[in-house]
């Protein structure tokens, strides 16, 4: 009987922890702009819900993420800012890594806030100090942060300051 009671308490604790985690995640992001953007309530940054190349349609991100070199990723952010009049930019590695959720895998990100995120490396704007050939990125398969050759092609998620 003691073992059963202990298991019940453990199960109750696990269920409570899972519910708490879901509630905390839901409170972290606020959906904006007809579902196309989310505000991170911890950092106050506004993120595009879809990776570049994907589009918001029917309540989710659809299509394929555009694979860009680091230089092309920086240029894409500049083009989006110019064409929309909104100060979109490539996030730095600290900002981007805060989206990674290592309690999840494939993808390691809140899929309610960022649906259909590819489980791939994403570029940040941060250069790798000591090398002109490497920039920092975040792997949204497992949530790792690492440097990668700037000529590799990865997706991009744009960010801006809240207004």
- How many CA within 13 A on the CB side of residue 112? 12
Cβ neighbours, 10 Å, residue 86: 16
For the sheet containing 134-139, what is the strand order? 121-127, 134-139, 145-149
**Backbone dihedral region for residue 106 (phi beyond 0: left; psi -120 to 50: alpha; all else: beta):** left
**Domains of the chain and any CATH numbers:** 2-161 (3.10.100)
pLDDT tens-place string over residues 117-149: 999 999 999 999 999 999 999 999 999 999 999
- What is the reported pLDDT for 34? 86
- What is the reported pLDDT for 135? 97
Q: Which residue shows structure tokens 């555009």?
A: 66
- What is the reported pLDDT for 26? 55
- From the number of C-beta atoms within 10 Å of its C-beta (0-12, 13-18, 19+), residue 111 rates as middle
- What is the reported pLDDT for 89? 98
Residues of the chain with pLDDT under 50: 1-25
Query: From CA 51, how far away is CA 73, in angstroms rounded?
Result: 11
pTM of the model: 0.82
60's tokens: 């989710």
């Amino acid at each position: 009987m003691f073992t059963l009671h202990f298991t019940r308490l453990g199960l109750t604790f696990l269920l409570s922890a899972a519910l708490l985690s879901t509630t905390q995640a839901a409170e972290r992001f606020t959906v904006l702009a007809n579902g196309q953007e989310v505000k991170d309530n911890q950092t106050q940054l506004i993120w595009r819900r879809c990776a570049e190349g994907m589009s918001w349609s029917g309540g989710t991100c659809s299509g394929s993420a555009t694979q860009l070199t680091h230089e092309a990723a920086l240029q894409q952010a500049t083009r989006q800012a110019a064409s929309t009049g909104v100060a979109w930019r490539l996030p730095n590695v600290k900002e981007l890594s805060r989206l990674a959720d290592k309690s999840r895998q494939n993808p390691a990100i809140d899929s309610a806030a960022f649906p259909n995120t590819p489980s791939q490396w994403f570029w940040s704007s941060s250069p790798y100090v000591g090398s002109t050939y490497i920039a920092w990125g975040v792997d949204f398969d497992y949530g790792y942060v690492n440097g990668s050759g700037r000529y590799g092609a990865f997706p991009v998620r744009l960010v801006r300051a809240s207004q």
